[in-house]
Structure formats: structure tokens, C-alpha cells
Amino acid sequence: MPEISQAWVALIAALLGGSGLKVIEYWLNKSKVEQDSAAAFRNELRDEVKTLRDELRKAESELDQWKAKYYELMDEFLKFRSNIDRSKTDTKPE
């Protein structure tokens, strides 16, 4: 009977030793895990900022294109209006 109790004691000691080792590893690596998660979070934010900057550049480029179209259209409108005003003054009865 003493052999069985020694086997149980050895099994319990092995389980507690393994569990204790895992707890100690977790406690010692806790700061590294926090640093890794913080670094991952910073990298994610950098990627998001980069994506947003690219979208902003694209939007600014599109805005410049629309401004150019607007000014071109305004120029054509003013020329057209000038031609109409000129034709009205040319055909005005005196």
C-alpha cells in the first residue's frame, strides 16, 4: 500500500510542479507579452495612419481635378456669356 500512495504523491507533485512552472513562466513573461501587444497595437495604428494618408492624397488629387474642371467650365461660361452680350449689343436697334 505504501507504493500506491508514493505513486499518487509523485503524480500530484508532477502536476503541481508543472502548474507551478507555468504560473512562474506566465508571471516572468507578462511584461514581454504586454510589450508585444503594445508594439502590435502601435504597428496597427501606423498602418491605419498610412492608409488614411493615402486616401487623403487621393481625395486631394480628385479635388484638384474637379477644381480644374470647374474653372475650365467657368471660363467657357464667361466666354459664352461675353459672346451673347456682344451679339446683343451688335444687333441692338438704334
The pLDDT-based confidence of 73 (bands split at 50, 70, 90) is very high
Q: Which residue has cell 499518487?
A: 8
Q: What is the pLDDT of residues 8-60, one digit of tens each?
A: 777 788 887 888 888 888 777 777 767 788 888 999 999 999 999 999 999 99
Cα end-to-end distance, the chain, whole Å: 135
E strand intervals along 1-94: none
Angle at 73 between CA 70 and CA 76, to 5 degrees: 150
Neighbour tally for 57: CB within 10 Å: 10
71 burial (CB, 10 Å; 0-12 / 13-18 / 19+) is exposed
User: What is the pLDDT at residue 94?
Assistant: 56
Q: What is the pLDDT of residue 83?
A: 92
Q: Identify the band that residue 1 occupies on the pLDDT scale cut at 50, 70 and 90.
A: very low
The CA R_g of the chain, rounded to the nearest whole Å, is 39
Q: 53-62, 67-76, 85-94: which has the minimum mean pLDDT?
A: 85-94
Instruction: Please report, for residues 53, 69, 72, the alpha-carbon distance to residue 58 in angstroms, rounded to integers and kept in the order given.
Output: 9, 17, 21
Reported confidence tier of residue 65, pLDDT bands at 50, 70, 90 = very high
